[in-house]
Structure 1
Amino acid sequence: MNRSVALDQKESVEIPLQKKKGLFYYIKQDFLLYLMLLVPIAYIVIFKYAPMYGIQIAFKDYNIFQGVGMSPWNHFDTFKQIFSSPQFFQVVRNTLLLNFLDLLLGFPAPIILAILINELVWKKFKKISQTILYLPHFLSWVIIGGIVAQLLSPTGMLNSLISHMGGQALPFLTNKFAWVATYSLIGVWQNAGWGTILYLAAMTGIDKQLYEAADADGAGRFRKIWHITLPGIRPTIVILLILQLGNIMAINFDRPFNIQNNLVMDYADVISTYVYRVGIQSANFSVGAAVGLFQSVICLIFLVTSNFISRKFGENGIW
């Protein structure tokens, strides 16, 4: 017996160890995949990281003839200027208000819509509904702005119909509070259908046996949604919520710019339109860069904080 053990030990020692595969081995194995990966990497490096060189404009009295490198430093005078401007705090307030309403109304909308679509039994109607709901996402905000003006302006189709029926025209785009509500609801209409894609994809990963067991226990449709569907898509909800909280200070330029008008600028002027007006139209590039940098730093703080809180509550964050 001792001899057989010795033979086994000898045989185990004689087994050659596999060499650790290096980086070039994996590159050679998946050469085409790595080659395809070069395109998005190049895009990120060229259009995301390389422009960071221009951040120093925010700390200089930038002159286009002297260039970024030769323009003199201004010892944070640009930041002192924007932080002493009441208009800057107004656009920050407007940005936070509109983004908070988007979070309050726009974030749960695709979740509810995805659950409703998932509960449909008739597959053909389900596909048609998804297609119709996706369509607004592909419309440019220039087109949507024109549609909104034609429908909701004081002389638009909807107000003309209301007046023809003996009612009083509603100030959808001329009253400040009505404009904020209109802005938020249009955003929900444009983005809700497209936002359902991730949630529907997450629902396909839920084990169907859980629904069958719930049926056997006599659970109704709402019970199954509450105890199976929502917990099943909770990781997706948490990740998307973290990302949206990280963009609480960021706001697209197209949407407010194409819907705003001079009567509601107290609430319609946001950081992106302020940077366009002050930084580009007025050629005050240092102020525009400083406001953009401030916006990015606040977004980073919100992103890190929301991710930290989600990890503390036992959820999977984005890192």
Structure 2
Amino acid sequence: MKRNWPLHILVMPAIIIAFIFNYVPLGGIIMAFQEYKPWFGFTGSEWVGLEQFKKIFAFAEGRQVIWNTLVISSFKIVFQLIIPIVFALLLNEVRIMFFKRSVQTLVYLPHFLSWVILGGILLDLLSVDGGLVNQFLNFLGIQSIFFLGDGDWFRVTVIATDVWKDFGFSAIIFLAALSGINPALYEASVIDGANRFQQVLFITIPSILPITIVVATLALGNILNAGFDQIFNLYNPLVYDKGDIIDTYVYRQGLLGGNFSYATAVGVFKSIIAFILIITGYKLAYKYAGYRIF
């Protein structure tokens, strides 16, 4: 402490901010076990035990938002793993550096745009009346599609736009893994008569398999995170039955509906499951890929 006190002082503001905004609010979890009334406070509200948690599965909409979250997040995880890998493999084969860097820059760019901006752009592009996408479909003789008003199409739109936004940035880790492959392996394969496809199949893919396993297993912790920012900026009452997720449901029940205890119970339920899945993901990553945090 005496030797490194300047470093402790340097990190102290971040610790204080994290404590105030991340740990102090944890005291509000008590609302999940109460029939919380703001005018009675934590001490005066009626204690109901696990009644709020029972409502999650008693209400049809509670079960539905859990199912919606699992469906949307599962497809996002799968495609956010497959497409970045394919993109990284294709980009790794490009030998024209100017073209390679230009493509990288273009596909990275959407990641740095917020869903507030992209949501507004997508609302215009996918509009039934005058949207460019539907105008193009009409030009091809296809009837207009209500992308953001039909539940099934809404799920497809959410998954596709999320993958489009982040696949380039997600590919960075795979490009880094590809750059670490020993060139001598490729040279030896050429001597043995292997073509480019065989090199990819028998050298490149097996070499990035460990990092692929790590990414896939660690993604289990996000199975209940379907993307609040994206859904919130794109959904509407017409797609609640197929597009409402746990985070948006908590927002509506808690902040808009004033049902603080029930919303807190849903949030706590999600956090407990996510915590278990994160621990499971780390154990699987360590078991099958030797991944360790420290």
Same fold (TM over 0.5): yes
Q: Equivalent of 2:161, from 167, 186, 193?
A: 186
CA distance in 2 between partners of 1:254 and 1:193 (Å): 19
Aligned length: 292
Q: Deviations over 1:155-178 (max 9, x none)?
A: 112212333454322332333222
Is 1:171 equivalent to 2:171 in the alignment? no
Deviates more, 1:41-50 or 1:265-274: 41-50
Q: Is the 8 A contact 2:134 2:145 kept in 1?
A: yes
Deviates more, 1:149-158 or 1:48-57: 48-57
Q: Equivalent of 2:136, from 149, 155, 161?
A: 161
CA distance in 2 between partners of 1:308 and 1:291 (Å): 26
CA distance in 1 between partners of 2:12 and 2:196 (Å): 47
Q: Give the structure-1-normalised TM-score.
A: 0.83
Q: Is the 8 A contact 1:238 1:317 kept in 2?
A: no
Is 1:50 equivalent to 2:24 in the alignment? yes
1:153 CA drift (Å): 2.0
2:185 maps to what in 1?
A: 210
1:244 maps to what in 2?
A: 219
1 or 2 for the larger relative contact order (CA 8 Å, sep ≥6)?
2
Superposed CA RMSD in Å reads: 2.3
CA distance in 2 between partners of 1:115 and 1:161 (Å): 31
AA at the equivalent of 1:119: E
CA distance in 1 between partners of 2:149 and 2:86 (Å): 31
CA distance in 2 between partners of 1:36 and 1:238 (Å): 37
Deviates more, 1:282-291 or 1:143-152: 143-152
Q: Equivalent of 1:95, from 61, 69, 72?
A: 69
Q: Is the 8 A contact 1:56 1:68 kept in 2?
A: yes
Residues 1-319 of structure 1 mapped to structure 2, 5 A cutoff: 27=4, 32=7, 37-38=11-12, 41-155=15-129, 156-312=131-287, 314-318=288-292
AA at the equivalent of 1:79: F
1:9 maps to what in 2?
A: none
1:112 CA drift (Å): 1.2
Deviates more, 1:250-259 or 1:189-198: 250-259
Q: Deviations over 1:207-259 (max 9, x none)?
A: 22222222222222222223322233233222221221111012321111222
1:137 CA drift (Å): 0.7
Q: Deviations over 1:238-283 (max 9, x none)?
A: 2221221111012321111222233222101111110011011011
Q: Deviations over 1:35-57 (max 9, x none)?
A: 65556544544433332222222
AA at the equivalent of 1:178: W
AA at the equivalent of 2:73: N
Q: Structure 1 pair 291/137, CA: closer, same or farther in 2 (3 Å)?
A: same
CA distance in 2 between partners of 1:307 and 1:283 (Å): 37
CA distance in 2 between partners of 1:210 and 1:40 (Å): 46
Q: Structure 1 pair 275/117, CA: closer, same or farther in 2 (3 Å)?
A: same
Q: Structure 1 pair 238/43, CA: closer, same or farther in 2 (3 Å)?
A: farther
| Runs of 5+ unmatched residues, structure 2 | none
AA at the equivalent of 1:107: L
Q: Structure 1 pair 287/307, CA: closer, same or farther in 2 (3 Å)?
A: same
* Matched-pair identity in %: 38
CA distance in 2 between partners of 1:239 and 1:54 (Å): 34
Q: Is the 8 A contact 1:145 1:259 kept in 2?
A: yes
Q: Is the 8 A contact 2:69 2:225 kept in 1?
A: yes
Q: Is the 8 A contact 2:80 2:170 kept in 1?
A: no
Deviates more, 1:183-192 or 1:162-171: 162-171
CA distance in 1 between partners of 2:18 and 2:182 (Å): 37
Q: Give the structure-2-normalised TM-score.
A: 0.89
Q: Structure 1 pair 222/39, CA: closer, same or farther in 2 (3 Å)?
A: farther
